Amino acid sequence: MKHGASRILFEYWDEIRAERPAPERGDIQPSAIKSVLGDTFILELSNTDTFRFRLAGTRLCSLFCRELKGRNFLDGWQKKDQQAVSAMLSAITQDGAAAVISFTGATEMGQSVDLELLLLPIRVQGEGCTRILGCMAPLKRPFWLGVQAINKQSVNSLRLIWPDEDSPLFTDENDYVPHFGTPAHRSVGPMEPRTSRTHQTPANPAPKLMQLPGSRQVGHLRVVDGGKI
Q: What is the pLDDT along the chain (229 residues), one digit of tens a residue?
A: 889 999 999 999 999 998 899 999 999 999 999 999 999 999 999 887 899 999 999 999 999 999 999 999 999 999 889 999 999 999 999 999 999 999 999 999 999 999 999 999 999 998 999 999 999 999 999 999 999 999 999 999 999 988 776 444 333 333 322 333 333 323 333 444 443 333 333 444 433 333 334 555 555 455 555 554 4
Which structural domain, as residue segments, surrounds residue 216? 4-226
pTM of the model: 0.73
CATH number of the structural domain spanning residue 112: 3.30.450.20
What is the number of domains present in the chain? Answer: 1
Question: What Å distances lie between residue 146 and 40, 69, 116, 127, 195, CA to CA?
Answer: 16, 17, 17, 36, 45
Measured CA to CA, the distance from residue 66 to residue 197 in angstroms comes to 46
